[in-house]
């Protein structure tokens, strides 16, 4: 197999791009480094293309390795033929390779295996040849007390077991039937138990849909219903069509032996082939659904992590609760904890006036301008309390409800204990909630990605596949934004290209011992951070106010000479890219590049046009945060009660989560409303991600309110 050609065709990229990317990956380069600093080499393949390429490269290399293992195993049995070699060469999946290996694979004790031990293989060959002759008379020859064959009927039945297994193991039959299942099969679910209990799976109590058309979210719902014992799920096909396909390859005559072969065909199908292909179809559907769900989860996570930070605000974090009270933290604009408290404004205590006095004092003492409220238990009551308190203040304060998914996981983690050894779990959670508003990326990287809770059925996903995919998303986001090497946590540093958890801790240890880094090249003094790691990570780490102004940009040290040459061409110095002069510097660079032309400027500076283009962007906006260019999060000063909502009411909200079937929007009540995929736009929408993303501020209209089930139906049609 030409792996390069296969990947190029699948990803629709040039072979030269694939070859270059594979070479860079094999040399130990990280995906963020390749995507950012090797654009000329790969033809500007982005992070996602490189991850897709890397995944397929791994799969196809494993496929080739398995092919060789199977070829060697069959050859050792003395049964390797040119046909098998050709079939292995053409096999495009691991499942296809296993189907080829099936007849030769050592089996557990089967009915056919027992029959072979009794010496009935020649009788099976006689019957399967379908020559004239009475099979029962032939079977008399195989009666043996010693071998445990008591009668001719026993001998025939044993022979049919052998024939059935041979039919089941026939790769061509498997291929034909597999194709028919993939084309014509239905996934069917019914209620597993007779009870009147209401269930979220009611839509699947008598359900059937083509395997070619069923949406992935329905597959996951059915799988979960089956796992919980609520549904019984099967794959249904036309049995007569399947048997006809098997007979067409096996039944060659019209005699007694042929009749027996037909019996073996039916047994092979019902006992061996159908259960096996049914499992494969279910596994394929689940695999496809998991891949799609993980992609949605990854897209949602990327959008959540890349939400703009709320900068320059002293923030109060409020972790809501009933009996144990609301835990409060106040953090300064950099996230440093200034104070903590506990108040009891919610039932059963209802000490609202006392809570107002306490929080108002904290707001005035520290100059709080934003309040971040966790969206868990007692969130709505806490939001109502905060909105009332804000109305009574004589200083402007706004609030936002943030997802507290994973906050409890972080609060109890070793990382949180190290960060706040004197705080209890709930106090740490309040700090995390405050910081999530200030800088979602820096805070959420401390939590295992799958615990952040943006997606669908995340707990049903293959853990390794989910962790790898989401880890890649976090890595891309962290490196896209860049990291301040002198303030970043170990959790944040560990996602920087080339840096692992051990090196991250060593960076912090060096920082604490030496008072921080004054320039990037000082990183080479960090224990276990060698030249290769430095090459991978340097461009993504920022040194603010250091010796070298370029250290505060995404310009890689390998391109410093080119950047300085560009400044020289523009009549500027490195001092011009810092501080107050940066705005006029940007105008100078922009006009000079237009005058020279990018191609000529690249030739003069000695780098490629793509690299120079990136250098220009960095010099025009040194230390830029790509998140600053996105719409700001919506802070509120009032609250809406679900009972005050009316059909037809138009509101503004924030997209909190996206699934295959729609988007959940926070409209300022405790319960997010659902915009079904059919209500997202005035046109056909293939997937919600084509229209909205997590963090978007959207206009919605209320279609329906079900207070009993706490459901709100929304539409965006004609509004955005």
Give the CATH number, domain containing residue 329. Answer: 3.30.420.140
* Residue corresponding to tokens 């199908």: 269
Q: Please report whether residue 613 resides in a domain.
A: yes
Residue 577 corresponds to which tokens in the numbers above?
A: 């890219």
Q: Please report whether residue 275 resides in a domain.
A: no
Q: Are residues 651 and 694 in the same domain?
A: yes
pLDDT, position 409: 81
Contact 654/634 with Cβ under 8 angstroms? yes
pLDDT, position 580: 58
Q: What is the CATH number of the domain that holds 552?
A: 1.10.150.310
3-state secondary structure of 631: coil
Structural domains in the chain (count) = 4
Euclidean distance between CA atoms 499 and 506, whole angstroms: 10
Contact 663/655 with Cβ under 8 angstroms? yes
Euclidean distance between CA atoms 481 and 430, whole angstroms: 25
Residue 297 corresponds to which tokens in the numbers above?
A: 């989860």
pTM listed for this prediction: 0.83
Q: Please report whether residue 637 resides in a domain.
A: no
Contacts with 506 (C-beta within 8 Å, 6 or more apart), sequence order: 526, 527, 528, 529
pLDDT tens, position by position, 48-81:
999 999 999 999 999 999 999 999 999 999 999 9
pLDDT, position 452: 80
Q: Which domain range does residue 616 map to?
A: 510-629
The distance in angstroms from the start CA to the end CA of the chain is: 49
Contact 703/645 with Cβ under 8 angstroms? no
Going by the DSSP 8-state scheme, the letter that residue 308 receives in this structure is: P
- For residue 332, which of 446, 441, 442, 431 has the smallest C-alpha distance? 431
Q: Are residues 375 and 429 in the same domain?
A: yes
Euclidean distance between CA atoms 359 and 138, whole angstroms: 96
pLDDT, position 579: 63
Q: Are residues 651 and 591 in the same domain?
A: no
Q: Please report whether residue 92 resides in a domain.
A: yes
pLDDT tens, position by position, 324-372:
999 999 999 989 999 999 999 999 999 999 999 999 999 999 999 999 9
Q: Please report whether residue 219 resides in a domain.
A: no
CB atoms within 10 A of CB 314: 20
Q: Are residues 656 and 589 in the same domain?
A: no
Task: Look at strands 662-666 and 673-676 and give their pairing.
Answer: antiparallel
Q: Please report whether residue 130 resides in a domain.
A: no
**Domain final position from 414, 438, 462:** 438
Euclidean distance between CA atoms 37 and 489, whole angstroms: 25
Q: Are residues 647 and 690 in the same domain?
A: yes
Listed as ranges, residues in the chain with pLDDT below 70 are 579-583, 637, 639-641, 670
Euclidean distance between CA atoms 218 and 457, whole angstroms: 11
Euclidean distance between CA atoms 381 and 640, whole angstroms: 11
Q: Are residues 12 and 97 in the same domain?
A: yes
Q: Are residues 416 and 521 in the same domain?
A: no
pLDDT tens, position by position, 672-712:
899 999 999 999 999 999 999 888 889 999 999 987 777 89
Rg (CA), the chain: 33
Q: Are residues 325 and 428 in the same domain?
A: yes
Q: What is the CATH number of the domain that holds 84?
A: 1.10.10.650
**Domain final position from 603, 629, 655:** 629
Contacts with 703 (C-beta within 8 Å, 6 or more apart), sequence order: 647, 679, 713, 714, 715
Q: Are residues 521 and 587 in the same domain?
A: yes
Q: Are residues 353 and 397 in the same domain?
A: yes
Alpha-helical regions (H) of 486-581 = 490-493, 501-514, 531-537, 560-569
Q: Are residues 666 and 615 in the same domain?
A: no
* Residue corresponding to tokens 């719409």: 631
**Domain final position from 48, 80, 104:** 104
Q: Please report whether residue 172 resides in a domain.
A: no
Q: Please report whether residue 598 resides in a domain.
A: yes
Q: What is the CATH number of the domain that holds 672?
A: 2.40.50.140
Q: Are residues 647 and 611 in the same domain?
A: no
3-state secondary structure of 398: strand
């Amino acid at each position: 197999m030409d792996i390069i050609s296969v990947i190029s065709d699948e990803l629709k990229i040039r072979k030269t791009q694939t070859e270059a990317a594979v070479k860079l990956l094999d040399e130990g380069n990280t995906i963020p480094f390749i995507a950012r600093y090797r654009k000329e080499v790969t033809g500007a393949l982005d992070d996602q293309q490189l991850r897709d390429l890397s995944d397929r490269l791994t799969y196809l290399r494993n496929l080739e390795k398995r092919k060789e293992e199977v070829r060697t195993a069959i050859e050792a049995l003395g049964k390797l033929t040119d046909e098998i070699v050709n079939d292995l060469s053409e096999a495009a999946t691991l499942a296809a390779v296993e189907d080829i290996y099936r007849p030769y694979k050592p089996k557990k004790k089967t009915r056919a295996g027992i029959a072979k031990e009794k010496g009935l293989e020649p009788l099976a060959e006689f019957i399967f040849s379908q020559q004239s002759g009475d099979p029962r008379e032939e079977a008399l020859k195989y009666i043996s007390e010693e071998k445990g064959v008591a009668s001719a009927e026993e001998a025939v039945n044993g022979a049919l077991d052998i024939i059935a297994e041979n039919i089941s193991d026939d790769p061509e039959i498997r291929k034909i039937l597999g194709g028919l299942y993939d084309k014509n099969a239905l996934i069917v679910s019914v209620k597993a138990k007779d009870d009147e209990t209401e269930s979220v799976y009611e839509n699947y109590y008598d359900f059937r849909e083509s395997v070619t058309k069923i949406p992935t979210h329905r597959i996951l719902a059915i799988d979960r219903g089956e796992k919980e014992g609520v549904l019984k799920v099967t794959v249904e096909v036309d049995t007569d069509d399947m048997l006809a396909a098997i007979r067409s390859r096996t039944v060659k005559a019209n005699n007694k032996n042929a009749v027996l072969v037909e019996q073996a065909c039916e047994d092979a199908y019902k006992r061996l082939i159908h259960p096996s292909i049914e499992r494969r179809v279910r596994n394929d559907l689940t695999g496809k659904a998991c891949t799609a769900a993980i992609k949605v989860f990854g897209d949602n996570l990327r959008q959540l992590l890349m939400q703009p930070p709320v900068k320059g605000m002293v923030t109060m974090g409020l972790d809501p609760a009933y009996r144990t009270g609301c835990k409060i933290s106040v953090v300064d604009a950099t996230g440093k904890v200034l104070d903590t408290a506990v108040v009891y404004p919610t039932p059963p205590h209802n000490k609202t006036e006392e809570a107002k006095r306490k929080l108002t004092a904290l707001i005035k003492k520290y100059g709080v301008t934003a309040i971040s409220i966790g969206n868990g238990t007692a969130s709505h009551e806490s939001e109502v309390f905060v909105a009332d308190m804000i109305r009574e203040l004589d200083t402007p304060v706004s609030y936002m409800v943030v997802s507290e998914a994973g906050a409890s996981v972080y609060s109890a983690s070793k990382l949180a204990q190290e960060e706040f050894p004197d705080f209890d779990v709930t106090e740490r959670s309040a700090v995390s909630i405050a910081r999530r508003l200030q800088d979602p990326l820096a805070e959420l990287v401390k939590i295992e990605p799958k615990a952040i809770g943006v997606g669908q059925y995340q707990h049903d996903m293959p853990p390794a596949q989910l962790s790898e995919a989401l880890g890649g998303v976090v890595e891309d986001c962290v490196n896209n934004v860049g990291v301040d090497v002198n303030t970043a946590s170990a959790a944040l540093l560990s996602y920087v290209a080339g840096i692992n958890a051990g090196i991250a801790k060593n960076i912090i240890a060096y920082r604490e011992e030496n008072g921080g880094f004054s320039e990037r090249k000082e990183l080479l003094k960090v224990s276990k951070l060698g030249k290769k790691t430095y090459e991978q990570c340097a461009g993504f780490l920022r040194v603010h106010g250091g010796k070298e102004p370029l250290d505060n940009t995404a310009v890689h040290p390998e391109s410093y000479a080119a950047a300085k040459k560009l400044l020289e061409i523009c009549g500027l110095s490195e001092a011009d890219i810092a501080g107050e002069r940066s705005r006029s510097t940007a105008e100078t660079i922009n006009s000079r590049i237009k005058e020279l032309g990018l191609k000529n400027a690249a030739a003069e500076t000695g780098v490629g046009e793509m690299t120079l283009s990136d250098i220009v962007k960095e010099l025009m906006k040194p230390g830029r945060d790509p998140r600053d260019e996105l719409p700001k999060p919506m802070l509120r000063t009032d609250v809406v009660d679900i009972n005050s909502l009316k059909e037809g009411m138009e509101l503004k909200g924030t997209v909190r989560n996206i699934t295959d079937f729609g988007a959940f929007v926070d409209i300022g009540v405790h319960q997010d409303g659902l915009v079904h995929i059919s209500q997202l736009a005035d046109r056909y929408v293939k997937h919600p991600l084509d229209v909205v993303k997590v963090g978007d501020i959207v206009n919605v209209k209320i279609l329906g309110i079900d207070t009993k089930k706490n459901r709100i139906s929304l539409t965006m049609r004609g509004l955005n």
